[in-house]
Structure 1
Amino acid sequence: MTAPVPDKCSILLVDDMEENLIALEAVLGPLHQELVRASSGEEALKAMLRQDFAVVLLDVLMPGMDGFETAANIKRLDQTKDVPIILLTGTDADTDYAYRGYAIGAADFLTKPFDPWVLRTKVSVFLDLDRKNRQLATQAEQLRRLLAADRAPMEAAGPQERLAEIAEELAQIELHLRDTDATDAVALAERTARLRRAVNSLRVRHAA
């Protein structure tokens, strides 16, 4: 039985101005997720090393380490490189800001003042993807435990070829989990279900 994946995700809000953080919290409050504040790029990086986030909302214009530098640092770290970043900036932003943001690896770019519904919708997409990825990771871990528990009796019984096939499938799932989109998530879920049936079949044969 698959362990339940917590519905609540964490969202990191990064802005050096208190009023902007308050506004973001008001817009995202209806999503009922954990909202974490950071008032600088340095503070944001420390927060991301302490806990996992489903998405980061990052202001571009900040003193010291600005949004572009912060995003670049996030993408350099193995622990945080896959976290999606939405860059936020004012209406007086340079025309090349969006290009620079996407070049760094930002997932999206919004200009203030933004439509609250649009922001919530964009954030919700990343929240759903984060939940799918965590569910797939949980399923893959359960399959690894099943294989570890049954490895000795299965080896004694001799189903080496099928065991090798299952191990290869698990390796492919682990690779895809590092970089998957919503479409891939469905395919991976189906593959995981097939593997679970294969493992159960091997257990039944050994019991017989």
Structure 2
Amino acid sequence: MTLSPPDTAPILIVDDMEENLVALEAVLGSLATKVVRARSGEEALKAMLREEFAVVLIDVLMPGMSGFETAANIKGLDQTKDVPVILLTGASVDPDYAYRGYTVGAADFLIKPFDPWLLRTKVNVFLDLYRKNHQLAAQATQLKRLLTGAPEAPTTAAGPGAAPRPPEPAPAPPAGDDASLADIASRLAQIELLLRDARGAESAGLADRIAALEKAVERLMVGRGA
């Protein structure tokens, strides 16, 4: 799966009707730099295995693999299980459809014709969560680098045709305070576990924990003369 930069926050829309895809693209196009179409559940799953999406909108009534089946398959795969799913369906629907949608793991359920402003608002919530989760993951990676003394990746080339300059070797960590380092490493590992499962309200708590770790690492480095 290709990971997308957080600023792009791509959206996947799934519907077997071309006019519905056009309408969704018109409503959501300004929210994301990339909106990908799929005309079936099978096509949607292939797209999601190739590329990372911030959110996927799926029509319930499609020939072949229905929206419910598509959502269940998305939630059943490790690569895609955390991607939020919004199910869409027409006005004349079975009253149990919403319940079925939530049981297969859908994050929301909307009935057509939907209010464009409402749809944009709901989708934008998931786009913001996508960006925040990427930012938290980047902070965790930065903390790992601080703890291990790993160098930053080189950002400039040595020149046309020249071999890339090897990174400087990481300095050996100074002696002493091993218990503090072990404690911070342990706390960072716990944050990583939470980060993999984080969605929604948990993100704020994770951000606070990571900020606390950053301060602890800074204090430790100052105390050890790093």
TM-score, with length taken from structure 1: 0.91
Is 1:197 the counterpart of 2:204? The answer is no
| Match in the other structure for 1:93 | 93
Specify which structure has the bigger relative contact order, considering alpha-carbon pairs within 8 angstroms and separated by 6 or more residues: 1
Distance 2:102 2:6 in 1: 30
Runs of 4+ in 1 over 4 A off after TM superposition: none
User: Residues 149-184 of structure 1: CA distance to partner in whole angstroms, max 9, x if unpaired?
Assistant: 179744x51212211221122112112212223432
Query: Which of 177, 183, 187 in structure 2 is aligned with 1:165?
Result: 183
| Match in the other structure for 2:11 | 11
> Percent of aligned positions with the same letter in both sequences?
67
Is 1:111 the counterpart of 2:129? The answer is no
AA matched with 1:158: G
Q: Which runs of 5+ in 1 are unaligned?
A: none
Q: Which runs of 5+ in 2 are unaligned?
A: 151-169
Distance 2:6 2:95 in 1: 40
Structure index of larger Rg: 2
**Partner SS for 2:65:** coil
More helix by share: 1
| Match in the other structure for 1:44 | 44
Distance 2:184 2:126 in 1: 30
* Residues 87 and 106, structure 1, Cα contact 8 Å, conserved in 2: yes
Distance 2:33 2:200 in 1: 20
TM-score, with length taken from structure 2: 0.85
* Residues 82 and 178, structure 1, Cα contact 8 Å, conserved in 2: no
User: Residues 59-96 of structure 1: CA distance to partner in whole angstroms, max 9, x if unpaired?
Assistant: 11111111111111100110100000000011121111
When the two chains are superposed, the root-mean-square deviation of aligned CA atoms in Å is 1.7
* Residues 54 and 83, structure 2, Cα contact 8 Å, conserved in 1: yes
* Residues 14 and 37, structure 1, Cα contact 8 Å, conserved in 2: yes
